[in-house]
Structure 1
Amino acid sequence: MTVTADAPGGRIHSSDPFATPEDERSPVRRLRGRLAAPVTLWTAPGPQGLTVSSMLVADGDPGRVLGLIDAESDLWDSIDESGYFAIMPLGPEDRQLADRFAGLMPAPGGLFAAGEWVSTPYGPVLAADGAWAGCRLASSRECGWALLVEGIIEAISFARDTAPLIHYRGRYIDR
């Protein structure tokens, strides 16, 4: 909730009063916002990381992941240079972590200063988190505002089962 000072004592809003009004947003963005998306953290050697919700996993031999990554991000620079990255589905307890890696919250000491991280050839992964997958970069190409990044899954770990953190219409929701 947001508090504004337009009335004595302020007024509490259930939405962001600074957000672009819905009727002024791109129709494509409005459609995408109506699709629930898993919140994941992608990391790469360097270390670098970024919150990614535009992604999917494709079963097969080998399995693959596809994601939309900002071509100007530090994460993409590290993936492009190393050829490897890790993905971690986040849970409801990871909201602040997701915001920190999305650049929506301060990260004093750097993105990896908080929490316990384990170094892998694919990038750092959370020490006590649920699942993660180590991927080798297969391809990338321009796709709309981003790069469509395809990775081949080379390693998977399931430390514990956790409910997913979901992004829907600009907010996180719990399952």
Structure 2
Amino acid sequence: MATDGVSFRAVLAQWPSGVVIVTTGTAGGEWHGMTASSFSSVSVDPPMVLVCLAKTSRTHRLVEERGTFAVSILGRDQAALGRRFAGQEPAPDGLFADAHWGTWVTGSPVLADSIGWLDCRVAHAYPGGDHTIFVGEVLAADTPRRVAPVLFHSRAWGQLADPLPDEVAVADTGLLSILRTRGYEEARLARISRALRAAGTRVRLFDPYGDPLPADDLDPVTASALIAEPTRVQSAVRAGAGVVEFVVSAEEYSASAARAGAGPPALESAAATVEAARRAGLTTVAHITESFAEDRAEAVVSAVGRLADLGCDEIGLEEGRLPASPLRVRELLRDASASARSAVLRVRLRERNGIGMVNALVAMKSGVGHFDTTLGGVDGSLPGEDVLFLASQLEVASSVDRTALVAGATELESSWGSPLPGRTYRFVS
């Protein structure tokens, strides 16, 4: 079948790509730029990238004359800026108005709040039909923000698709603590803990305000300990835990706190905990309080990145006193996932006015597969058995035995004195 320009563009439109702004300067110091998606890495050593520019464009002529260019990768909240540089939106005050720009080595402008930029010197230029392939040696680079990118697909601007996790796992982080406050005997707590762990649920054995349960022969990865300081890592080891948890405030760990001088003590404590846990062969989990509160997203995303840099294996985002909404859950997880990099994201959600499971659905649709829960929802957190039921309806697998959790919730109700808040523990199927 013959290929013409229309069919060629139609096929290429099916290839989703990120969006960049390619910029350069004139001899007189003026700036110019254009939106592009024909961008790719070429080499790591030396670092090199390429951009393909139409020979009829002014940007092509200036890059050819100046021998330099910069590439700024747009975040998901910068689509309007991309449309402006693509000529799809008016720019009465100029292309570079109302955005933060700066220069580094070559003098080509870079977008200061992009999710990544590269300042380049042209190393090679190859003919490519009606385009020229400019290969640039990267002289400077940075990642100012870690948020999800904007995507271009089928001539439309969008964002990453919602992925379901491959598997869902639940941890019980509240049951033993609340049962202690209600006077349950330690022997019964030990039986409950063992049953939950045998079902595949990670269980918080103790917190800074309680004594550890006796160690048993179950896998340490199903036992965790919440600690308040690095010296308590050994207590977790003696309790048979394979996981240590600690709680932080987003403000203490954000980049802005570090600039203001408020961050180092908290960071030092977290770093010491992570290092002590690593030496003991334990997994580390940092829980960020009030993660879904309004107007805290930037601090939380920044804190996630700093905790990931410290080497935390898992980072938990907790809904606390201030309620989460589906929209805030979606927006936060979209950016936090990018900031977490190799660290596993967890969420702890609460049931409020029937929105809790909606938030859990949004979290799963955002790729989150690890949930901090409480059997029966007795402390206001989402019940583990309900989260697993939702996963089953989405055909997402889990290694946790939901039937065992349902049996545990049913038994717990017999001594609780009233029906548990959980919604699905009365039926297994």
Contact 1:42 1:49 in 2 (8 A): yes
Other-structure match for 1:89: 73
Q: Distance in 1 between matches of 2:126 and 2:42?
A: 18
| Structure 2 residue 160 is the aligned partner of structure 1 residue 160 | no
Matched, 1:41 2:4: no
Q: Which has the larger Rg?
A: 2
Q: Quote the Cα distance in structure 1 between the aligned partners of 2:73 and 2:129.
A: 24
1:1-175 alignment, distance < 5 Å:
26-46=6-26, 47-120=31-104, 121-175=106-160
- Given that 2:150 and 2:158 are in contact with CA atoms closer than 8 Å, whether structure 1 keeps it comes out as yes
Superposed displacement of residue 25, structure 1: 6.3
Q: What secondary structure does 1:93 align onto? A: coil
Q: Does the 8 Å CA contact 1:139/1:150 hold for their aligned counterparts?
A: yes
CA distance, structure 2, for counterparts of residue 119 and residue 72 of structure 1: 26
Measure the CA separation in 1 of the matches of 2:93 and 2:125: 31
2:77 partner SS: helix
Q: Can you give the 5+ residue segments of structure 2 that lack an aligned partner in the other structure? A: 161-429
**Per-residue CA shift, 1:109-159, capped at 9, x if unaligned?**
211122121133241112222211111111223313322111111211121
Q: What letter is aligned with 2:18?
A: P
- Bigger fraction of residues in helix: 2
Contact 1:85 1:135 in 2 (8 A): yes
Give how far 1:101 is off.
0.6
CA distance in structure 2 between the partners assigned to 1:109 and 1:123 by the alignment = 20
CA RMSD of aligned residues (A): 1.7
- Aligned with 2:65: secondary structure? helix
Supply the distance in 2 between the matched residues of 1:104 and 1:143 (Cα, whole angstroms). 25
Q: Which amino acid aligns with 1:172?
A: W
Task: Give distance in 2, aligned partners of 1:44 and 1:25.
Answer: 29
CA contact (8 A) 2:115 2:149 kept: no
Offset at 1:78? 1.9
TM-score (norm 1): 0.80
SS at match of 1:99: helix
In 1, Cα distance between equivalents of 2:112 and 2:14: 33
Q: Which protein, 1 or 2, shows the higher relative CO under an 8 Å CA cutoff with sep ≥ 6?
A: 1
For residues 77 and 88 of structure 1, the distance between their equivalents in structure 2, rounded to whole angstroms, comes to 19
The letter for the 2-side match of 1:32 is L
Q: Name the CA distance, whole Å, in 1 between partners of 2:17 and 2:113.
A: 23
Query: If each structure's strand is expressed as a fraction of its own residues, which one has the higher value?
Result: 1
For 1:122 and 1:84, how far apart are their aligned partners in 2? 8
Give the AA of the match of 1:54: S
Provide the rounded CA distance (Å) in 1 between the counterparts of 2:78 and 2:129: 28
TM-score by length of 2: 0.34
- Partner SS state of residue 148, structure 1: strand
Q: Deviations over 1:70-114 (max 9, x none)?
A: 112221222112211110110111111111111111111211122
The answer to which of 102-111 and 71-80 deviates more is 71-80
Distance 2:101 2:111 in 1: 5
CA contact (8 A) 2:21 2:74 kept: yes
**1:29-58 C-alpha deviation (Å, 9 max, x unpaired):** 122111111100111123110101011112
Cα distance in structure 2, aligned partners of 1:110 and 1:100 = 9
Partner of 2:330: none
Q: 1:72 to 1:59 in 2, by over 3 A?
A: same
Aligned residues: 152
What's the secondary structure of 1:111's corresponding residue? coil
Asked whether the 8 Å contact 2:76–2:149 carries over to 1, the reply is yes
Deviations along 1:58-77, one digit per CA (max 9) or x if unpaired, are 23211211121111222122
